[in-house]
Chains A and B, each alone.
Chain A
Amino acid sequence: MPMRKKTRPMGKVMLLTAILALLTAILASCGGGTSSKDKTATAGAGGGKTPAAGATTAATKAATTAAASSGGTITVKKGDKLKIGISTTLTTDNAQLGIPIRDAALLALKTKATIKGFTLEGDPQDDGCAGPASVTAANKLISDGVVAVLGPMCSGGTVAAQDPYAAASMLVVSGSATAVNVTLTSKKGFFRVAWNDSTQGGEMAKYVYTTLGKKNAVLVNDQSVYGKGLMDVFKASFTALGGKVVSEEAVTVGEKDFGPTVTKIKGETADIVVFGGFIAEGAILVRQLSEAGVTATFMGADGIADQKYIDQAGGKAEGSYVSRGPKPTDTTKYDAFAAAYKAEYNKEAGQFGDYATDGTNVILAAIESVAAVDSSGNLVIDRDKLIAALTATDYSGATGEIKFNDKGDRIVVGAVNEIDQVKGGKLTRIQ
């Protein structure tokens, strides 16, 4: 490194300039009374605009080409097990949502036991709730020779893994990928029993505006495809109803102290804070908001709909609202599932357990309807026929009536968006 003698004094001048600039900026932002708040609100809103839709368009072509070609057949040799892949999150904080998914799917396989004499076996793979890990899990499952896949768990991972699955003509049913962009374009072999966030986000906005009567909202997302997507739909519906989004904030997954974000929200005039994200961040956010003296109502969605949200918030989640997505009006089948799960694992099924069991069951029903035993005793399944069988699904399960549209999304039949409120430390259904 060449010597530069003047660097030191220059450094001091620069440091001084930087400090002065910072002070000026602080004072400038405080000037002009209320207008400063508007400025910050717009800055936040502008910053938040990152349409996730763009990501999927490039991939569309590959999928369409794949859809045109024939999917071929899969043969399970006599005496071998019929494997179903389970792509879910088994590590990191999100494993608290992912492990019940795996367990519910394994329970469904255990209950069904065999198809045409072939023993069912689950093949759980960790999809890390993120793109790269979900693609790795997809490739592993494809090479393992699974017949169909339940998963991936998270929307971001699903969008990334859809192409390898489509190229392999794999039947994929996710029970928890809820983001809008997952089904923006039709992907060969992809279905979800989870509800599209556009359904839930719209219902949440309606509930907040009409039932709760809140007109000024701060939206907070965790920068995930799910959280951001849900908040975008909420914003569109809420604004269309006449509500005002005063500011859009974000938190970073894995952080534990949201002090500056909370301080910023405290400075806004909002009567509700709506959160799109998962348990760990949701619990911290509701607690820190309450401890900072923010009186606005707090509402989250299915990503935090779990007793752990209440436990981790240390008593500060009381009174907050949780949207759980459309739920069947008749809960007999759900209760039966919850009881069976509890009997097997001695714990609650969690937010997505019922979706995982329904997802597994529609896969199994489809396999049963198209699988044929050939002359040498092997089980032969035509992949295209399998996908066609799923398209025609008309199944009544723990999460209600399941029918799919041509994009693989569920059609709302006999369901209402469930809203819970935290009362006495428990999630209590109020709608």
Chain B
Amino acid sequence: MASWHYLRQEGACVQEWIQLLIDGVTIGGVYAVIALGYTLVYGVLRMINFAHGELFMMGAFTGYFTLTAFENHSNFNDSLPVLTIAVAIVMGMVVAVTLALLMERIAYRPLRNAPRLAPLISAIGVSILLRNIMLRVTNAQGKVYPQVFPRTALEIGEIRLLYVQIFLLVLSVFFLALLYLFIQRTKAGVAIRAVAEDRNTASLMGIDVDRTIMTTFAAGAALAGAAGVVYGMFVTTATSDMGFIPGIKAFTAAVLGGIGSVPGAMAGGYFLGITEALSTKFFGAQYKDVVAFMLLVGVLIFRPWGLFGKRDDKRA
């Protein structure tokens, strides 16, 4: 086949494209995992939790503090890296879930029947608070992860993949699958879907709405916390503002996929990541956000409910 011959001739270039796609899928997976938190909370509460990106950041810091503690007080990082990484991820999830439950109880629940803008402002407040607490705690110094995960790479021709990147890739897919099963197959998942459908009716059917909302927050936070730890290991640094850009991007991904839709958030995340990587190649990284947001606008013009969202004639 002529095209195959052509591809072989252009092997190096095609490999560059594959590398770009992998780069895109890597960051896209992170966006997807964070986007789920936005979409789940929006599903049940019709509010955007703008502090969600900060849970990701807190996860990254928890991972840093856990691994550094292991580094300083034991040799487990060298002898049992699997254990320390697992502990770090679990700790990241625990801290993020705790914070999410606290913010739900303190900042959002009292405003549940307030006008829709109030919890939004409250969320922005929580986001600024968390970011500045960490700025204070770290004295504005970026923290560097101890090297637990070996930074060696898998090489196929010109394509080079750090093993930690593969770990990040696989883990994000794993978490996405896990959450999907949770929503579809468990009783708590059914409750979340019921509350998302109609909170009052769900309550009349005997579903504990407060509890379900807390479960939703916890599920989204657990994913963000875990993603924070693994992303922190991948980029090796944690800074107080690291949740901001991924947070905004994940929110975009959630809207792109159709806010409130779980498969939509996943697809939106990967779509956005790949778009960014490809537009870096075509137009330069300074224009990747322009391209991504133009795409968002384009999608919203033709499908205001997003790629996977349900059209909602009542509310529109």
Contact = CB atoms under 8 A, between A and B. Distances in A.
Interface of A: 1, 3, 7, 10-11, 14, 22, 25-26, 29-31, 33, 36, 40, 43-44, 47-48, 90-93, 95-96, 99, 223, 248-252, 254-264, 266-267, 279-280, 283-284, 287, 291-293, 308, 311-312, 314
B142 A254 contact: no
Interface stretch (B185-193, B210-218, B234-242, B257-265): B234-242
Interface residues of B, number: 57
B14 interface: yes
A251 B285 CA distance: 6
A47 B286 contact: yes
A312 to B, nearest CB: 5
B132 A256 contact: no
Given A26-B17, A93-B140, A14 B302 contact: yes
Q: Which 7 A-B pairs have the closest CB atoms?
A: A259-B23, A95-B140, A260-B280, A250-B286, A256-B235, A1-B316, A260-B277
Contacts of A31: 6, 10
Given A43-B282, A267-B13, 11 more contacts: A1-B313, A31-B6, A92-B240, A249-B284, A254-B244, A256-B237, A259-B27, A260-B288, A263-B277, A284-B235, A287-B236
20 contacts: A1-B311, A29-B282, A30-B14, A47-B286, A48-B286, A92-B135, A96-B141, A250-B284, A254-B241, A254-B245, A259-B277, A260-B23, A261-B280, A262-B23, A267-B12, A283-B142, A284-B237, A291-B153, A292-B160, A314-B147
Contact of B285 (A33, A90, A258, A292): A258
B16 A263 contact: yes
Interface string B175-197: 00000000000000000000000
B280 to A, nearest CB: 4
Given A7-B302, A96-B140, A292-B160, A267 B16 contact: yes
B235 A264 contact: no
B142 A93 contact: yes
B144 A311 contact: yes
A259 B26 contact: yes
Nearest to A280: B142
Interface in B2-25: 6, 10, 12-14, 16-17, 19-20, 23-24
B242 A44 contact: no
A318 B78 CA distance: 24
A257 B232 CA distance: 10
Contacts of B286: 47-48, 223, 250, 252
B10 A250 contact: no
A403 B149 CA distance: 52
Q: Is the interface of B mostly helix, strand, loop or mixed?
A: helix
Contacts of B285: 249-252, 258, 260-261
A191 to B, nearest CB: 28
A264 B280 contact: yes
B104 interface: no
A298 to B, nearest CB: 17
Contact of B284 (A14, A44, A263, A314): A44
A257 B313 contact: no
Contact of A293 (B13, B20, B160, B280): B160
B117 to A, nearest CB: 22
B30 to A, nearest CB: 8
B112 interface: no
Contact of B142 (A47, A96, A258, A292): A96
Most interface-central of B282, B284, B316 (chain A CB within 10 A):
B284
B234 A257 contact: yes
Contacts of B235: 256-257, 284
Contacts of A261: 280, 285
B237 A312 contact: yes
Contacts of B6: 31
Given A248-B284, A284-B235, A92 B141 contact: no
B276 A30 contact: no
A213 B20 CA distance: 31
A47 B287 contact: yes
A95 B135 contact: yes
Contacts of B17: 26, 30
A28 to B, nearest CB: 11
A95 B287 CA distance: 27
Nearest to B243: A254
B284 A43 contact: yes
B231 interface: yes
A266 B13 CA distance: 11
B162 interface: yes
A428 B280 CA distance: 35
B312 to A, nearest CB: 9
B310 interface: no
B142 A11 contact: no
Given A43-B283, A260-B20, A22 B303 contact: no
A342 B262 CA distance: 54
A116 B186 CA distance: 78
B278 interface: yes
A3 B235 CA distance: 47
B303 A263 contact: no
B24 A260 contact: yes
B152 to A, nearest CB: 9
Interface string B289-316: 1000000000000111000000101001
Contacts of B139: 99
A99 B234 CA distance: 28
A47 to B, nearest CB: 5
Nearest to A94: B140
Contacts of B147: 314
Of residues B12, B13, B14, B26, which shows the largest number of chain A Cβ atoms within 10 Å of its Cβ? B13
A391 B232 CA distance: 49
A283 B239 CA distance: 13
A314 to B, nearest CB: 5
A228 to B, nearest CB: 9
Interface in B133-151: 135, 139-142, 144, 147, 151
A312 B284 contact: no
Interface string B82-94: 0000000000000
Interface string B109-141: 000000000000000000000001001000111
Contacts of B244: 254
Given A263-B20, A284-B237, A91 B284 contact: no
A92 to B, nearest CB: 6
